[in-house]
Amino acid sequence: MKKILIMNGPNLNLLGVREPGIYGGDSLSSINEEIRKKAEEKGMETDFFQSNHEGELIDRLHAAMGKYDGIIFNAGAYTHYSYAIRDAIAAIKVPVIEVHISNVHTREEFRHKSVISPVCVGVVAGLGKKSYICALEYFA
């Protein structure tokens, strides 16, 4: 059975609580539950991790080595400037898909740049919670 890790970075624990116009009205736990169910339908196992701390995200990436077939990662604002997270993704031999709920390209200039895209197998952005589901379907 394929094992997929779904990771979320800083502030994504606030989903559903504030800014529903940009990020939708669903909480992170309800999105995770949808992902879990969809994965189960497709015969895949899922684990979930959210942190507001760069080092914890890096530690989780390292710990994923040899344990997962794929990682779906919304690195939040770290996407745009964390070379440490980029290096961690490049170092592990697990394929990572970068996801974003919002269409980062229609937003502020600083969100147009991703330092992690070059070390990810793909990017899904702007489809709301369906961004995670599309990434899951790729791994299925």
| Residues annotated catalytic, as ranges | 23, 100
Angle between helices 54-63 and 83-91 (to 10 degrees): 0
Q: Are 83 and 116 in contact (CB under 8 A)?
A: no
Cα distances from 60 to residues 25, 35, 38, 92, in angstroms, run 27, 19, 23, 11
Q: Which residues contact 135 (CB under 8 A, 6 or more apart)?
A: 72, 97, 99, 122, 124
Decide if residue 15 touches ligand CA2 (CB under 6 A): yes
Decide if residue 14 touches ligand CA2 (CB under 6 A): yes
Site for ligand CA2, residues 78 to 107, rule: CB under 6 A:
79, 100-102, 104
Binding-site string for ligand CA2 from residue 33 to residue 72, where x marks contact by CB under 6 A and - marks none: ----------------------------------------
Decide if residue 18 touches ligand CA2 (CB under 6 A): yes
Greatest distance between any 2 Cα atoms in the chain: 41
Among 2, 3, 11, 34, binds ligand CA2 (CB under 6 A): 11
Contacts to ligand CA2 by CB under 6 A: 11-12, 14-15, 18-19, 23, 74, 76-77, 79, 100-102, 104, 111
